[in-house]
Structure 1
Amino acid sequence: MNDDLLHAYLQHHWAGSSAGTAMFERVGRTHSDPDVAARVRQLATEVNEEREQLRQIIMATGADPSRIAAATGRALEFAGRFKPNGRLVRRSPLSDLFELEALRDAVAGKRAGWQLLRTATEDDARVDALQLDELIRRADDQLARLEDLHLRVGRTVISA
């Protein structure tokens, strides 16, 4: 196994986890439906826990989580907030929907990372295969919950 490539791959996911964590936290604060916001805050807690597991995996493979990658991820999440939504001053109802779609994309990317890491490190004693199996299972559960929220909000927004 090429540790340089493994570490680079993990650092990219570290940046993504930084962006994803920030996005979950923001949507949990700003979503217009209080029930959806509460459910996203619960997901934010889970995503933060998994980010810590990623930190441990990075360190177990002999690298340190990059502060630059984390800052870049958070900066990209912040920049992503500035998108045209048809409103100049106030929040568009579509923002609630698009943000849930972005959260689904983030979890799908996280799941893909866990899945590849599981396959690529099958013979690497530094990485716990059972831990990765659990992280994949959690991502599947999160995707299902986000799908439910997405459809619920989508019905409300589109039929309004």
Structure 2
Amino acid sequence: MNDDMLHAYLQHHWAGSSAGVAMFERVGRSHSDPEVAAEVRQLAAEMNEDREAQRQMIIATGATPSRIAAATGRAVELAGRFKPNGRLVRRSPLSDLFELEALRDAVAGKRAGWQLLRAATEGDVRVDPLQLDDLIRRADVQLARLEDLHLRVGRAVIRA
């Protein structure tokens, strides 16, 4: 196994998880539907737990989680807030919908990372395949929850 490539891949996903956690936390604070916001806050807590599992994997493989990658991920999330939504000063109802789509994309990317790690590290005693299986299943559940929220909010926004 090429540890340089493994470490680079883990650091890339570390940056992504930093952006994802920040995005989940922000949407959990700003979503206009209090029930959706509460569900997103619960998902944000799970994203933090998944990020901790990732941090432990990085350490177990002999690397150190990059502060630069984490800061870059958070900066990318911040830049992603600036998008055309048809409103200059206030949030558009579409913002709630687009943010849920971005959260779905974030979890899908996380799931893809877990899947690849599961396949690429088979036989590597530093990475627990059962933990990766659990993380993949958890991402599937998170995606289903976000899909439900997305459809609920989307119907309300489009029909309004």
TM-score bucket (shorter structure): over 0.9
CA distance in 2, matches of 1:44, 1:67: 20
The within-5 A match list for 1:7-156 is 7-156=7-156
CA distance in 2, matches of 1:20, 1:141: 17
Give the number of equivalent residue pairs.
160
Amino acid at match of 1:118: R
Please, what TM-score do these two structures have when normalized by structure 2? 1.00
Measured after TM superposition, the shift of residue 5 of structure 1 is: 0.2
Amino acid at match of 2:97: L
CA distance in 2, matches of 1:81, 1:88: 13
Q: Deviations over 1:93-130 (max 9, x none)?
A: 00000000000000000000000000000010000000
Unaligned runs of 5+ in 1: none
Q: Deviations over 1:10-41 (max 9, x none)?
A: 00000000000000000000000000000000
Amino acid at match of 1:145: R
- 3-state secondary structure, aligned to 1:86: coil
Cα RMSD of the aligned pairs, angstroms, is 0.3
Amino acid at match of 1:2: N
Amino acid at match of 1:59: I
CA distance in 1, matches of 2:13, 2:141: 20
Measured after TM superposition, the shift of residue 55 of structure 1 is: 0.2
CA distance in 1, matches of 2:124, 2:56: 15
CA distance in 2, matches of 1:90, 1:149: 22
Measured after TM superposition, the shift of residue 77 of structure 1 is: 0.1
What percentage of residue pairs aligned between the two structures are identical? 86
**Deviation beyond 4 Å, 4+ runs, structure 1:** none
Q: Deviations over 1:67-95 (max 9, x none)?
A: 00000000000000011110011100000
